Amino acid sequence: MLRRLVSVPPAYYVFGLLLLTLWLARPNMLNPNVLGIFIRQVVPLGILVLGQLLVMRVRSIDLSGGGVILLINYIITSRTFPEASGLTFILMALAIGGGVGLLNGFMVAKRRVSAVIVTLAVSIILVGFVQFLSSGKPPGDVPKYMNEIFNISLGFVPLPVLFWVVCTGIMWLVMQQSVYGRYVEAVGENAEAAAFCGVPVERTVVMAHVLAGLIAAVAALVQTGSIAVGSVRVGLDLPILAVAATILGGVVFGRGEGGVWGPFFGVLSFALLFVVMTVFGIGDPGKLIAQGLIILMAAILYGSRSKRG
């Protein structure tokens, strides 16, 4: 019975619990319009999580997303490329994300360097680079059309939220239906055995990092649309939140019981958590503690499970 209970990703309970708390504390906030706004704010996180869950499924991690988001945000808002169209920005963003992902993947899969250290170092390099370019000052305004697209709503469903759901659906399809999904599953469960099955283990891990980099680029575009003015701090806390949301959603190094929708609810839980904490007047320090505790608790839960199994 207990085993069955823990096989449901914690995100679902936490989400339910937070919804209940909010309903008891501020029932008037539980209407689609208000919730839509809250959820819209976590869409960049929600998209970033799709890459995080992929690399965590192959027992790696990607903490470089913050640097990628910051760099792309800087390039768009600083008017370094004043003539650039939206499509150019998108291509540039994808090139940056893919390039960073390729570097991460090469270092992790081929050079066998610790993924945490590689991706943290890459993030530090990118952040230092952007802060140097901008001298630490906010770069400039976000192009109007990006804000406008971000603010479109279809009924009470904001467009970014819909986009997030579609992205998550695509990731679900890839994991469920593609050969690559089977590779990821096999490598995460037992890389040695996967190699003996003929699965290209290193290539699978490199590809996971490249995809995670591309996804971070998409998250960066959405994040940029969500703010009016560029910033040199934007998105820096997203990678660690993405790790927390992914673990909360039942995906942890090499194991994927939570699938794609568990982490989806992990992100929704964070959206509600921030609302609830604001309602109760808990500030940023409390959020940091909550992030750390969630990572720790979820990792302990899965750590002790893998020991038993």
Partner 1 sequence: MIAFIRSGFSTRRSRHGLWAVPLVIVIALLAALTFGTDQFASGENLANVVSQAMPLLIAAIGQLFVILVGGLDLSIGSVISFSTAILSLDGPAVVLIPAVFVLAGLVGLINGLVITRLNVHPIIATLAMQYILLGITRILRPVSGGEISGILIAAVQGSVLGLPLPFLWGLLAIGLAAKILYGSRFGLHLFGIGGGVAAGMDDAARNYGIRVERNIVLAYVACALFAALAGVFLAGRIVSGDPNVGLLFELDAVTAVAIGGTQLSGGVGSLHGTVLGAIIMVLLANGMNMANISPFVQTAIKGGLLLAIVGLQSRKKMGL
Partner 2 sequence: MTDAEPIWLIEMQSISKAFGASRVLKDVTLRLRAGSVHALMGENGAGKSTLMKILAGVHRSDAGRILKNGEPLHLPSPREALAAGISTVFQEMSLLPNLTIAENMFLGREPLTGSGSPDRRKMRAETAKALAELDLRLDPDQLVSTLTIAERQFVEIAHGIKADASVLILDEPTAALNAADVEVLNRSIRRLKAEGKAIVYISHRMDEIFDMCDEVTVLKDGQYVGTKTIRDVTQHSLIAMMVGRELSDLYPVRAASFGQPVLELTAFRASGKARPFDLMLRQGEILGLAGLEGQGQQKIMRSLMGRFVPAGGSLRLHGQALKFPRPVNGIRAMAQLGVGFVPEDRKEEGLMLGLSVASNLVIALHSERPAFTRARGLGSVVKQMMDSLHVKAASPAIPVGSLSGGNQQKVLLGRYLARNVKLLVIEEPTRGVDIGAKSEIYRLLRDFANVGGAVLVTSRETIELIGLCDRLAVVHGDTVVAAMPAADATEHSILAAALTTSEVAA
Binding site for partner 1 (CB under 8 A): 58-61, 107-109, 111-118, 120-129, 131-132, 135-136, 191, 201-202, 205, 240, 243, 253, 284-293, 295-296, 299-300, 303-304, 306-307
Q: Which of 41, 157, 189, 287 binds partner 2 (CB under 8 A)?
A: 189
Smallest distance from partner 2 to CB 295, Å: 22
Which residues touch 300 (CB under 8 Å, ≥6 apart)? none
Verify binding: residue 57, partner 2, rule CB under 8 A: no
Smallest distance from partner 2 to CB 181, Å: 7
Smallest distance from partner 1 to CB 142, Å: 22
Cβ–Cβ under 8 Å, residues 211 and 54 = yes
**Piece of the chain touching partner 2 by CB under 8 A; list 54-62, 183-191, 212-220, 231-239:** 183-191
| Closer by beta carbon to partner 2, 3 or else 144 | 3
Measured CA to CA in angstroms, residue 42 lies from 92, 106, 142, 146, 158 at distances of 23, 30, 19, 17, 12
Which residues touch 306 (CB under 8 Å, ≥6 apart)? 255
* Rounded Cα distance, 251 and 221, in Å: 25
- The tokens of 275 are what? 């609302």
**Of partner 2, partner 1, none, which one sits near residue 185, judging by CB under 5 to 8 A according to partner kind?**
partner 2
Burial class (CB in 10 A: 0-12, 13-18, 19+), 202: middle
Stretch 240-279: interaction string toward partner 2, x if CB under 8 A = ---------------x------------------------
Smallest distance from partner 1 to CB 52, Å: 13
**Piece of the chain touching partner 2 by CB under 8 A; list 65-73, 171-179, 222-230, 237-245:** 171-179
| Closer by beta carbon to partner 2, 118 or else 191 | 191
- Nearest to 259, CA basis, from 160, 162, 173, 191: 173
Measured CA to CA in angstroms, residue 273 lies from 14, 132, 172, 245, 291 at distances of 9, 34, 25, 11, 10
Please report the sign of the dihedral spanned by the C-alpha atoms of residue 152, residue 155, residue 158, residue 164. negative
Stretch 209-238: interaction string toward partner 2, x if CB under 8 A = ------------------------------
Smallest distance from partner 1 to CB 125, Å: 4
DSSP H or E segment with residue 77: helix 65-77
Verify binding: residue 169, partner 2, rule CB under 8 A: no
